[in-house]
């Protein structure tokens, strides 16, 4: 069980959650500070969504590459 | 027949506990309490417990270290078995050369979190502590005692609740200054003489990872080491992952995507740190709240099930933290695999 390469994916859930919530909250904080509501909140949300999707995709890609040896992993 | 007797006894014990021994619900306090002052430093209970954990780890190393031999035996054999099992696991994930480099940090993280989680499950936590005034209408009545010159409070066997009346009165033990008054509660203080008081306990010991600073500190360590190993392996080429201006300087429009991906990579390094922190903190803190609540709802037997669960969670979270650090370190030291470099990185695996 411990040596399963899928174990590297346990962090993917909390990564996705934090990557969306954190930039959004940061944007909200900056909005309140510089009175640019709601531009920075939206920017943070979009960046967070992009970072979450991209990071999750990368972790999944690394896992797939490790699970399927590169000889037949051309489709990744 | 015997099985049914045991089952019946357990159910009876649970019912008796639920009906007769149900205590007041424990306060859930996120911030760690200050136990004592040492110089200018406010020592909180989580810090104090983490010193104990570090001391235990050092003690184990001092005892087992010099006795390591070719033919392991006894205590040092156990330590060696645990370490080598973990090393084999790391070797499986990142290969021998990298495993030798990453192992000291990763194993330290693993054993520190594991030991602090397990010490956090010992019954000494959250039971004995400094008496503190509580807030609110309903307050638990706790017992106060003194041992070797240290005043402390503990939860009596059959704790009761007292209605302090509209939240304007708190009962304080003798010799305890009213913190409530100076922090703006403005409540009248009434002292009791029979050793009981109403309020809360600021425990001396508390599970280390229930303080959000502790997982954050380890996450920062893990982050710093991962970046350091990245630089060590790739030099300044490591930064190419984050600031990829090569294509856009050649005025290719696809370079914009490279720049954007670089920003996402940079963000993900920091998000990873926060996600590390909240995963560990959330799991351990939720576990502690669960244990407290279960033991106050159904005082006997049932909580044992959740203790088993928490033993498992403590191991899993320690392992997850260590393993993800290992995986991210491995990601940092391998050459960043763009699509045209896939063969190269594929061969490195």
Q: What is the pLDDT of residue B341?
A: 42
Taking an 8 Å cut-off on Cβ atoms, the answer to whether A54 and B342 are in contact is no
B221 within 8 A of B151, measured Cβ to Cβ: no
Q: Is residue A16 a part of any domain in this protein?
A: yes
B240 within 8 A of B336, measured Cβ to Cβ: yes
B39 within 8 A of B316, measured Cβ to Cβ: no
Token pair for B310: 């928490």
Q: Between A7, A54, A73, which is nearest B261 by CB?
A: A54
Token pair for B252: 């290719």
Q: What is the pLDDT of residue B151?
A: 73
Report yes or no: B89 at the A interface, CB cutoff 8 Å.
Answer: yes
Domain count, chain A: 1
Interface test with A, best of B106, B244, B267, B326 (most A CBs within 10 A): B267
- Give the N- to C-terminal CA distance of chain A in Å, as an integer: 24
Q: At what angle do helices B302-333 and B96-119 cross, to 10 degrees?
A: 150
A47 within 8 A of B268, measured Cβ to Cβ: no
Q: Between A3, A7, A18, which is nearest B271 by CB?
A: A18
Scanning every residue of chain A, which has its alpha carbon at the shortest distance from the alpha carbon of B343? A70
Name residue, tokens 């600031």.
B243
Q: Is residue A23 a part of any domain in this protein?
A: yes
Taking an 8 Å cut-off on Cβ atoms, the answer to whether A19 and B275 are in contact is yes
Q: Is residue A38 a part of any domain in this protein?
A: yes
Taking an 8 Å cut-off on Cβ atoms, the answer to whether B331 and A66 are in contact is no
Consecutive 10-residue runs of chain B (349 residues): their mean pLDDT? 89 84 76 82 88 93 79 81 88 86 92 92 81 70 72 74 56 51 44 65 86 93 93 86 80 82 87 91 91 82 88 91 89 66 43
Give the residue among B111, B124, B126 at the shortest CA–CA distance from B290: B126
B99 within 8 A of B90, measured Cβ to Cβ: yes
| CA angle (B310 as vertex; B306, B313 as ends), nearest 5 | 140
Q: How far apart are CA A75 and CA B92, in angstroms?
A: 25
Taking an 8 Å cut-off on Cβ atoms, the answer to whether B327 and A19 are in contact is no
Q: What is the pLDDT of residue B56?
A: 93
Report yes or no: B66 at the A interface, CB cutoff 8 Å.
Answer: no
Token pair for B8: 């019946």
b/e burial code for range B11-24 (CB count within 10 A of at least 16 → b): eebeeebeeeeebb
Element (H, E) at B150: strand B150-154
ipTM above 0.85, yes or no: no
Per-residue pLDDT of chain A (76 residues; tens, 9 = 90+): 666 777 778 888 888 999 999 999 999 999 999 988 888 999 999 999 998 998 888 888 878 877 776 665 454 4
The Cβ of residue B41 has, within 10 Å, a number of other Cβ atoms equal to 10
Residues of the domain holding A36: 11-67
CA separation (Å) from B290 to B24, B115, B215, B222, B285?
15, 20, 19, 29, 8
Contacts of B326 (CB under 8 A, 6+ apart): B90, B93, B94, B102, B106
Q: Is residue A40 a part of any domain in this protein?
A: yes
Q: What is the pLDDT of residue B135?
A: 67
A5 within 8 A of A67, measured Cβ to Cβ: yes
Give the residue among B230, B331, B344 at the shortest CA–CA distance from A55: B331
Taking an 8 Å cut-off on Cβ atoms, the answer to whether A51 and B267 are in contact is yes
Contacts of B42 (CB under 8 A, 6+ apart): B34
φ and ψ at B65, to 5 degrees?
A: -55, -60
φ and ψ at B41, to 5 degrees?
A: -95, 130
The torsion of the CA quartet B85, B89, B95, B101, rounded to 10 degrees, works out to -70
The alpha helices in chain B, defined as continuous H runs, are: 2-20, 45-64, 74-94, 96-119, 179-182, 213-234, 246-249, 255-297, 302-333, 342-348
B284 within 8 A of B120, measured Cβ to Cβ: yes
Three-class DSSP category at B202: strand
Q: What is the pLDDT of residue B192?
A: 55
The Cβ of residue B241 has, within 10 Å, a number of other Cβ atoms equal to 19
Q: How far apart are CA A69 and CA B264, in angstroms?
A: 27
Q: How far apart are CA B245 and CA B240, in angstroms?
A: 8
Give the residue among A47, A2, A11 at the shortest CA–CA distance from A27: A47
Cα Rg of chain B (Å, integer)? 26
Q: What is the pLDDT of residue B51?
A: 92
Q: How far apart are CA B256 and CA B251, in angstroms?
A: 9
Q: What residue spans define the domains of chain B?
A: 19-125+205-337+344-349, 129-203
Task: Using the Cα atoms of residue B282, residue B283, residue B289 and residue B293 in order, give the sign of their dihedral.
Answer: positive
């Amino acid at each position: 069980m411990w040596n399963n390469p899928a174990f590297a994916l346990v962090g993917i859930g909390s990564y996705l959650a934090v990557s969306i919530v954190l930039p959004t909250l940061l944007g909200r904080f900056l909005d309140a500070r510089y009175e640019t509501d709601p531009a920075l909140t939206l920017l943070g949300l979009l960046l967070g969504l992009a970072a979450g999707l991209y990071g999750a995709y990368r972790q999944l890609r690394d896992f797939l590459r490790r699970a399927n040896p590169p000889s037949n992993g051309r489709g990744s | 027949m015997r099985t049914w007797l045991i089952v019946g006894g357990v159910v009876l014990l649970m019912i008796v506990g639920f009906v007769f021994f149900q205590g007041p619900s424990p306060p859930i306090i996120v911030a760690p309490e200050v136990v004592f002052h040492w110089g200018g430093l406010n020592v909180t209970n989580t810090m104090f417990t983490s010193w104990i954990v570090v001391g235990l780890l050092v003690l184990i190393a001092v005892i087992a270290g010099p006795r390591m031999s070719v033919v392991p035996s006894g205590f040092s054999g156990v330590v060696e078995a645990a370490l080598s099992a973990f090393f084999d696991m790391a070797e499986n994930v990142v290969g021998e050369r990298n495993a030798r480099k990453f192992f000291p940090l990763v194993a330290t993280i693993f054993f520190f979190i594991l030991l602090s989680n397990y010490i956090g499950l010992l019954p000494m936590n959250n039971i004995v502590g400094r008496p503190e005034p509580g807030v609110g209408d309903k307050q638990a009545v706790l017992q106060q005692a003194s041992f070797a010159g240290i005043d402390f409070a503990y939860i009596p066997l059959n704790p009761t609740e007292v209605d302090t009346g509209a939240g304007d009165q708190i009962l304080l033990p003798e010799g305890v200054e009213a913190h409530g008054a100076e922090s703006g509660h403005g409540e009248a203080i009434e002292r009791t003489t029979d050793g009981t008081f109403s309020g809360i306990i600021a425990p001396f010991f508390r599970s280390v990872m229930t303080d959000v600073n502790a997982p954050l500190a380890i996450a920062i360590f893990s982050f710093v080491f991962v970046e350091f190993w990245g630089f060590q392996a790739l030099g300044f080429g490591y930064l190419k992952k984050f600031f990829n201006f090569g294509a856009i300087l050649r005025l290719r429009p696809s370079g914009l995507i490279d720049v954007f991906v670089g920003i996402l990579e940079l963000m993900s390094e920091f998000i990873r740190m926060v996600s590390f922190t909240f995963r560990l903190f959330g799991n351990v803190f939720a576990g502690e709240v669960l244990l407290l609540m279960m033991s106050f709802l159904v005082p006997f037997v049932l909580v044992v099930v959740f203790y088993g669960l928490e033993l498992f969670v403590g191991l899993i979270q320690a392992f997850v933290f260590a393993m993800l650090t290992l995986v991210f370190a491995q990601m940092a030291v391998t050459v960043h695999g763009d699509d045209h470099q896939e063969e190269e990185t594929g061969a490195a695996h």
